[in-house]
Amino acid sequence: MRENFARKPAGGDRHQLKGIYSATVKEYPPEEGVPTSERVANWGKLNADNLSLNEIAINASMASEIMDNLQVNLGPQS
């Protein structure tokens, strides 16, 4: 995976570098105008929400408790 980062484009085109990174880690590019890999593009348009990380953090403990009560991490029970 690291070999992709060793080949820095001439002139240090940041958008191209971000495109290589997002293709390598298989995620949406970090900003508009950055090339999207074919694989990620096949997932469709990113529908990002606007929920703040602070709000997620406030509810993380309760969410973890709910998951524990539902025994979600135990896997299939058959």
- The confidence score (pLDDT) of residue 11 equals 52
pLDDT in tens, 9-29: 555 577 788 888 888 888 888
Give the Å distances, CA to CA, from 71 to 56, 58, 59, 65, 76: 21, 22, 18, 10, 10
Measure the CA–CA gap between 60 and 4, rounded to whole angstroms. 35
- The confidence score (pLDDT) of residue 12 equals 59
Measure the CA–CA gap between 13 and 10, rounded to whole angstroms. 7
Mean pLDDT of 64-72: 88
Q: Is the pLDDT of residue 42 over 90?
A: yes
- The confidence score (pLDDT) of residue 25 equals 87
- The confidence score (pLDDT) of residue 36 equals 85
